[in-house]
Amino acid sequence: MPAVIVVGMQFGDEGKGKITDYMAERADLVVRYQGGSNAGHTVVVGGVEYRLHQVPSGILNPGKICVVGNGVVVDPSVLIKEMDDIESRGHDVSGLRISHAAHVLMPYHVRQDELEEGSRGARQIGTTRRGIGPAYTDKYSREGIRFGDLIDEECLRKRLEPVVASKNRLFDRLYGASGFGFEEVYRAVLAQARRLRPHIADTARLVNNAIAGGKKVLFEGAQGTFLDIDHGTYPYVTSSNPTAGGACTGAGVGPTRISGVVGIVKAYTSRVGSGPFPTELLDEKGSSIREKGGEYGTTTGRPRRIGWLDTVMLRYAATINGVTALALTKVDTLAGTGKVKICTAYRLGSRTVTEYPAAMDELARCEPVYEELDGWSDEEVAGVTDYDRIPASMRRFVSRVEELVGVKAALISAGRDRRQTISRFEVF
């Protein structure tokens, strides 16, 4: 039963896109299970960069079925633009399938996200302003429009008309903002629906049949464990479940069908938006890692906050996700940094804690306890694709991370390109 979940173990941007693309070479299906166009997954193949927001990162491997699962909220304008871009660069998107139960992210969700963020003042979450929170809110309040609703045009009119009217009342009365003309919204979504209709399918059945037939399925999470609506640093989180359990609900697959969970860990930590970040570096060291690692948001271009690796958080993420193997990325970015630090515990008042605190106000007061390791140089890592050839200091870093997190690293990524990946054991 080769069905493996790829999950971010930090605050997103761990390199899920790169690792999914690498692993997709051996997969038959790649399935996105949550999030929306807030995700920005970068894949580099043969020096050419692709930034994917809605389409699974398996799309650049020919002949794969790429599924946008029921747990995803899809902005059709972003999806179509991305499909056109991928096609214009010589790739085939005919293998793309969209769940009939995935929710359609509408222009009024984007407006609502902007207005809500604007009204939060100092309590801003720092959302990507892609309409994610409002789209999931409508899903759970049963006001959402699903891809299956786009097939019958008259039914769509009946479902959409009262929703647009209610959004317009909200914008006007709460924010004094202008609304949307119904016909305009309806006509735009119909045009998008006609383009996307051939791709809409019962994807839960498709994925389950593939697993039953012995096919290899890769589930690609967006965001990361600490942005999870249940397990993250609430309220500074996204509105879905990036954690491994989200793959089951977000794709319609039972937990007994999952054979492994690969946790993606960047060799240091980054975070975009507000919220607690115990190992954050506000000094020159943080800036130099940001510049070297190109740590600017793939979706919004915002500079990412940078910090040392935090194994207190990683241990928690390994537990919550049931991680069976790690993929450690961006070890090359730490090259030439001098000594490398790993947070092994927190100091909380007079106590030293090794377990991730359940209360968010406690996390905000935690001071990291560091262990210092020898670093490595750019020359030592350049072009290395064999684990036995990596510098001894980096091997010690990898072993120490494995020991502290309690999970072995199957993959080590030492560069942006698909080829710059070291495989130690098979995960499929």
Chain residues that interact with Mg ion, rule: CB under 5 A: 13, 40, 298
Binding mask 279-308 for ligand GDP (x = CB under 6 A): ---------------x---x----------
CA 281 to chain centre: 23
Residues 84-143 contacting ligand IMO, CB under 6 A? 125-128, 130, 132-133
CA 67 to chain centre: 15
Question: Exactly one of 3, 5, 8, 72 binds ligand IMO (CB under 6 A); which one?
Answer: 8
Kindly state whether residue 252 participates in binding ligand IMO, applying the rule CB under 6 A: no
Per the CB < 8 A criterion, the answer to whether 65 and 206 are in contact is: yes
- Catalytic residue from among 21, 28, 41, 199: 41
What angle, 0 to 180 degrees and rounded to 10, lies between the N-to-C axes of helices 153-175 and 182-196? 130
**Closer residue to ligand GDP in complex, CB, 34/413:** 413
Binding window for ligand IMO (CB under 6 A); candidates: 33-41, 58-66, 200-208, 261-269 = 33-41
Kindly state whether residue 414 participates in binding ligand GDP, applying the rule CB under 6 A: yes
The dihedral of CA 411, 47, 130, 84: what is its sign? Answer: negative
Closest CA relative to residue 196, chosen from 149, 251, 263, 265: 149
Kindly state whether residue 329 participates in binding ligand IMO, applying the rule CB under 6 A: no
Residues 77-116 contacting ligand GDP, CB under 6 A? none
CB of 8 to ligand IMO, least distance (A): 6
Binding window for ligand GDP (CB under 6 A); candidates: 111-119, 129-137, 168-176, 325-333 = 325-333
Binding mask 258-287 for ligand IMO (x = CB under 6 A): --------------xx--------------
Cα 27 to Cα 23, 62, 218, 220: the distances in Å are: 7, 11, 6, 12
Query: What's the rounded Cα separation, in Å, for the pair 352 and 347?
Result: 4
CB of 19 to ligand GDP, least distance (A): 8
* 41: annotated active-site residue: yes
Residues 6+ apart with CB under 8 A from 68: 32, 54, 55, 56, 74, 79, 96, 97, 98, 99, 102, 203
CB of 236 to ligand IMO, least distance (A): 6
Cis ω for the linkage preceding 235 (within 30 of 0) = yes
CB of 219 to ligand GDP, least distance (A): 14
Kindly state whether residue 59 participates in binding ligand GDP, applying the rule CB under 6 A: no
Query: What's the rounded Cα separation, in Å, for the pair 10 and 7?
Result: 9
CA quadruple 397, 325, 224, 227: dihedral, nearest 10: -90
Cα 93 to Cα 35, 64, 80, 84, 167: the distances in Å are: 20, 9, 11, 9, 34
Q: Which residues bind ligand IMO (CB under 6 A)?
A: 8, 12-13, 38-41, 125-128, 130, 132-133, 222-224, 227, 238-239, 272-273, 298
Active-site amino acid positions: 13, 41
